[in-house]
Structures are given as structure tokens and as C-alpha cells.
């Protein structure tokens, strides 16, 4: 799964990396992003331009009666995304990139759980495959929310956790944001583990255990 991640790029760096034309979010570097928080996501507008927006992490389907359903929909299994009621429609019509430069997992060592930050070996930013939806709360306000797709772990992550987020290749990022692509088989084909050799991990402070902490100290090696 993916329950915490980082996106520490400043706005100019994020704009360049993800070829963003329009920024609608108040983007700041984030060091401990947690579920139910508002996060930056990249979507494609009607003209095919990339837009950085802000969405709630934890998908609230348009038909939901209560926003609390989003608390348990922070992730979606890629293996069944084309079948599940909550995700099937979004796969062909509401895809997004969730930009990041690392994510946290907790490795069991005896009775302890050691927090690890997983990044690309070259420390570059990347994108998780995401889906999003719009929901109206009882007050009539529109709430946009998203979920991060997960898959079976590669050999590197398997030593830490039984699931991992889908990290898209830059080629797959382009496909994922292309609204003209509606072939489910073509879309699900890119929802695979990234190469194990692309990743590295290091221990970080237990400060990341609490979403109250969201500063540079969270990503410092211990």
C-alpha cells in the first residue's frame, strides 16, 4: 500500500518536471503527506494541458453519502480497478498523476517497526498512478478527491511490504494523462511494479509516525 509520501520539490521544479502549464494549487514542499490531507495532483484539461490541482487524498465516489468513505479509499488495487464499481468509470475518464519523490514504509524488526523512506536511486521525482472523482457535500460544495493505485511489490519492496504504489515511467505518465485513451487493457498494462533496481531505501526518524510533523527533519537519514 501507500500510506505516506513526500513531494519536496518547490513549485518551479515541480512545474518543469511534470510539464505543468497551469497551477491552481498553493504548492509547498511536503515531507510527510498523510491520508485525508489535501495533496497536489496533475490532471489534463480539455485542451490536453497539464494542470496542478489540489485534491483530498482518500477517494469519495460521487455516489457516496458520507465523506468518511474516503478514509479507507486512499489506495486502489490495480488488479481489480477495471472491475470495481468505485473505480471502473474513473479508469477511463478520471485519471491523474500524484507527484512524489519518496514514500514511507515501516519494516518490522522484532517488536519494532522501523520507518523507511523509499526513493529512486537518482533521487528524482516521479508520479504515482492515481484516479479522482468529484463529490458534493450536504452544503452543495464540490470536493475533488483521489486515490493512489497499488500493485504487487517488486523484489526490493517485497522485503519491506506486500504491496507497493504504482510508480509510472515517464512514457506511461503521458499515456495515463491522455484522455483519448479509453482502452482498459492498454491502461492497466502500465499498472505494474517499477524495476527493483531503480529504488533505494533508508531509515528515517519516527517523527513520520505522526502526520503532525511535516518538515525536512522527516526525510533525514538516521
Rounded CA separation 37/57 (Å): 6
Candidate list 53, 96, 105, 218, residue with the active-site label: 105
173 tagged catalytic = no
| Beta bridge partners of residue 150, listed in sequence order | 77, 165
Rounded CA separation 178/181 (Å): 6
Which residues in 49-62 are b (16+ Cβ under 10 Å) and which e? ebbbbebbbbbbbe
105 tagged catalytic = yes
Rounded CA separation 146/129 (Å): 10
Rounded CA separation 59/35 (Å): 10
Q: What are the φ and ψ backbone dihedral angles of 209, each rounded to 5 degrees?
A: -65, -25
CB–CB of 178/168 below 8 Å? no
Which cell numbers in the block locate residue 64? 457516496
Q: What are the φ and ψ backbone dihedral angles of 31, each rounded to 5 degrees?
A: -120, -5
| Alpha helices (runs of H) in the chain, residue ranges in sequence order | 11-17, 85-93, 170-177, 184-188
CB–CB of 129/41 below 8 Å? no
Candidate list 2, 96, 194, 218, residue with the active-site label: 2
Catalytic residue numbers, as ranges: 2, 105
Amino acid at each position: 500500500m501507500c500510506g505516506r509520501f513526500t513531494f519536496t520539490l518547490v513549485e518551479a521544479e515541480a512545474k518543469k518536471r511534470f510539464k505543468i502549464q497551469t497551477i491552481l494549487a498553493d504548492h509547498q514542499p511536503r515531507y510527510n503527506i498523510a491520508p485525508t490531507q489535501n495533496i497536489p495532483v496533475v490532471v489534463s484539461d480539455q485542451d490536453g494541458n497539464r494542470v496542478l490541482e489540489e485534491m483530498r487524498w482518500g477517494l469519495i465516489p460521487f455516489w457516496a453519502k458520507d465523506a468518511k468513505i474516503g478514509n479507507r479509499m486512499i489506495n486502489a488495487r490495480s488488479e481489480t480497478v477495471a472491475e470495481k464499481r468505485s473505480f471502473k468509470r474513473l479508469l477511463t475518464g478520471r485519471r491523474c498523476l500524484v507527484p512524489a519523490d519518496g514514500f514511507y514504509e515501516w519494516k518490522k524488526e522484532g517488536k519494532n517497526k522501523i520507518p523507511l523512506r523509499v526513493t529512486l536511486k537518482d533521487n528524482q521525482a516521479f508520479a504515482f498512478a492515481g484516479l479522482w472523482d468529484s463529490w458534493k457535500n450536504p452544503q452543495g460544495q464540490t470536493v475533488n478527491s483521489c486515490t493512489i493505485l497499488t500493485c504487487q511489490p517488486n523484489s526490493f519492496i517485497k522485503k519491506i511490504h506486500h504491496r507497493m504504489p504504482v510508480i509510472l515511467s515517464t512514457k506511461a505518465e503521458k499515456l495515463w494523462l491522455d484522455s483519448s485513451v479509453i482502452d482498459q487493457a492498454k491502461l492497466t498494462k502500465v499498472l505494474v511494479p517499477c524495476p527493483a533496481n531503480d529504488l533505494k531505501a533508508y531509515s528515517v526518524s519516527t517523527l513520520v509516525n505522526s502526520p503532525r510533523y511535516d518538515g525536512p527533519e522527516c526525510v533525514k537519514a538516521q
